[in-house]
Amino acid sequence: MLSNKNIVITGALQGIGKTTLEYFASNGANVWACAQKPTYEFETFCKELEEKFCVWIKPVYFDLTNSDEMKAAVKTIQSSKQPVDALINIAGMAKDAIFHMVSMDTIKLVFEVNFFSQIQFSQYITKLMLRNPNPSSVVFVSSISALDGNVGQLAYGSSKAALIGAMKTMSKELASKGIRINVIAPGVIDTDMNKVVPQEVIDEKIQTMDIKRLGKPSEVASVLAFLASDLSKHITGQVIRIDGGIK
């Protein structure tokens, strides 16, 4: 599905990002795997994927909220002189607190990571994409919290909703130049992010789903692969819910 495509994935160290990295490699993609800090396990993981699937995986380390580090990372990607075919923005953070308890500092921090830094990084990467003669694709990972609201997720949900607004404008500006922009909105996915949620809350949510179970990270990765691939070449400006039909 992704043979010969070169793809930038942020937040590749863990959770959905790590699963996506593996899923993309198994489908033939070369990946710039972005993570905040180097670890031995991550380096080994990338090397193993390279050997197993005959692709290249280049770890790129930077703190998304550090402009200088980001610029250096973009330079690294650029200097490899490979066209960039897709950008998958997965890195993000959640900080839950009910509306009256959420501080402005928290909101600013969450927006910094989930919105501002992703927009800035996308500005740099789409500039590289404009030089790519082939069509390319950008995907942001939003959340059903952005669409439905969720108790305790004022900062998180708002930051993820901002991404949807940005995506729609980006699609209007860039789709005619060969860059498609879409958003996915995962529901309750079985990752560490949800480990902090009490089991009874999870059980209650499952009862409102058409598919009565949590989503798996690989079920998010497969949709990202579809959106990065040419199978979706006429899909742009969309929000795709991956939520098992939650109400």
Q: List active site positions.
A: 156
In the bound complex, what is the minimum distance in angstroms from residue 236's beta carbon to other proteins? 4
Return the SS3 of 179: strand
Which residues of the chain form contacts with other proteins (CB under 8 A)? Answer: 1, 3, 27-28, 171-172, 175-176, 180, 187, 209-212, 215-216, 219-220, 222-223, 225-226, 230-238, 240-245, 247
Structure tokens at 41: 């396990």
Report the C-alpha gap between 223 and 239 in whole angstroms: 12
State in angstroms the smallest separation of the CB of 138 from other proteins: 13
Question: Per-residue b/e over 46-79, b at no fewer than 16 CB within 10 Å?
Answer: beebbeebebbbbbbbbebeeeeebeebbeebee
Q: 107 vs 209, which CB is nearer to other proteins? A: 209
The pair of three-digit structure tokens given for residue 82, joined into one six-digit string: 């490979």
Chain Cα centroid distance, residue 164: 13
Is residue 246 a contact partner of residue 187, using CB atoms and an 8 Å limit?
A: yes
Cβ neighbours of 137 (radius 10 Å): 25
Question: Shortest gap between Cβ of 147 and other proteins (angstroms)?
Answer: 12
Distances (CA, A) of 58 to 50, 64, 166, 185, 211: 9, 17, 28, 27, 37
Between 85 and 243, CB nearer to other proteins: 243
Which residue lies nearer to other proteins by CB, 110 or 174?
174
The nearest distance, CB 17 to other proteins, in angstroms, is 17
- C-beta closer to other proteins: residue 64 or 144: 144
Cβ closest to other proteins, residue 121 vs residue 226: 226
Nearest distance in Å: CB 207, other proteins:
11
